[in-house]
């Protein structure tokens, strides 16, 4: 009997996280359900014209029926701009963040420039980049990189600054060199901050690509949205927006998966704290 009770208890413990996860998802599911129903019935409730807010059913019909001819080829172009710009922005942010933290002279020289760069609206820079680099993918990639590097750089600096001095002093007392302190103490402590910045960068990468395409482009989802908007084809506009959202969400989830693989100790300790 005792063994049976222990087996049941262990099984219940395994089920608890699943039950908690399901209960935690209930509010989000209810909110999404309410939005979907309200959106679908918006025209019936308000009596507005269909171009104001088409039903979700019509938007997703356009989403799938025009995928091969219109959305997928243009979405692929926008996705390439997002991925390349994201890679450049993240790499630049990581390198700049590390350099700014470790070298006082570089910090004094570059940190004010990094911070002030975010005070300039990207849409104001986009026309200049079009003049310099033409209507190809280059200016869009640069805009994505400009948008995504800042959260990575700032979070990288914050991550390295979060390391406790006692941990560094302990490593010094053991005779560790600078590289060992960096790899064994500073980098592991900074990884949660860095991945938070990278996730943020992944989520906003679509903004840079679309801003660049709006200013000047012949291909991509930006021109699709502009053409549909001028013709009051709001269903096409929303379908293109959903493609953008799904691409950004996909990048966000992939970064989250990489973070879990890179920091299993962090997520394990966090789950223990929650339980």
Is the pLDDT confidence value at 254 over 90?
yes
pLDDT at 271: 64
Mean pLDDT of the chain: 83
Per-residue model confidence as pLDDT tens digits over 1-40: 455 555 545 555 555 666 776 777 778 888 888 888 888 8
Distance between CA atoms of residues 36 and 157, nearest Å: 41
Q: In the prediction, which pLDDT does 182 show?
A: 78
Q: How far apart are CA 217 and CA 81, in angstroms?
A: 12
Once rounded to an integer, what is the mean pLDDT over residues 129-140?
85
Token pair in block for residue 5: 């009770």
Distances (CA, A) of 216 to 45, 74, 159: 39, 14, 37
Name 202's Cβ contacts closer than 8 Å, sequence gap at least 6. 86, 148, 248, 251, 252, 254, 255
Instruction: Please give the share of the chain, as a percent, with pLDDT higher than 70.
Output: 91
Q: pLDDT per residue over 83-124, tens digit each?
A: 999 999 999 999 999 898 888 888 888 888 888 877 777 778
Q: Domains plus CATH for the chain?
A: 24-60 (no CATH), 71-274 (1.10.3720.10)
In terms of Cα–Cα distance, which of 189, 103, 115, 108 is closest to 149?
115
Residues 220 and 78 sit within 8 Å (Cβ to Cβ): yes
pTM of the model as a whole: 0.82
- What pLDDT was estimated at residue 34? 87
């Amino acid at each position: 009997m005792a063994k049976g009770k222990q087996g049941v208890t262990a099984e219940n413990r395994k089920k608890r996280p699943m039950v908690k996860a399901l209960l935690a998802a209930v509010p989000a599911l209810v909110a999404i359900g309410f939005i979907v129903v309200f959106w679908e019935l918006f025209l019936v409730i308000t009596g507005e014209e269909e171009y104001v807010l088409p039903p979700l059913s019509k938007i997703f019909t356009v989403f799938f029926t025009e995928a091969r001819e219109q959305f997928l080829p243009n979405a692929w172009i926008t996705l390439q701009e997002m991925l390349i710009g994201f890679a450049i922005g993240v790499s630049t942010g990581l390198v700049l963040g590390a350099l700014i933290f470790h070298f006082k002279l570089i910090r004094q020289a570059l940190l004010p420039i990094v911070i002030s760069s975010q005070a300039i609206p990207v849409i104001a820079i986009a026309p200049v980049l079009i003049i310099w680099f033409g209507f190809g993918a280059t200016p869009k990639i640069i805009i994505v990189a400009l948008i995504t590097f800042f959260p990575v750089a700032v979070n990288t600096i914050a991550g390295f600054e979060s390391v406790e001095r006692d941990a560094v002093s302990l490593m010094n007392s053991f005779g560790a060199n600078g590289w060992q302190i960096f790899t064994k103490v500073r980098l592991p402590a900074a990884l949660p901050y860095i991945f938070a910045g990278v996730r943020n960068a992944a989520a906003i990468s679509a903004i840079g690509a679309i801003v660049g395409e709006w200013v000047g482009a012949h291909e991509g989802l930006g021109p699709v949205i502009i053409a549909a908007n001028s013709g009051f084809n709001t269903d096409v506009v929303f379908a293109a927006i959903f493609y953008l959202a799904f691409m950004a969400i996909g990048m966000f989830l992939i970064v989250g998966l990489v973070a879990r693989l890179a920091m299993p100790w962090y997520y394990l300790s966090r789950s223990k704290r929650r339980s």
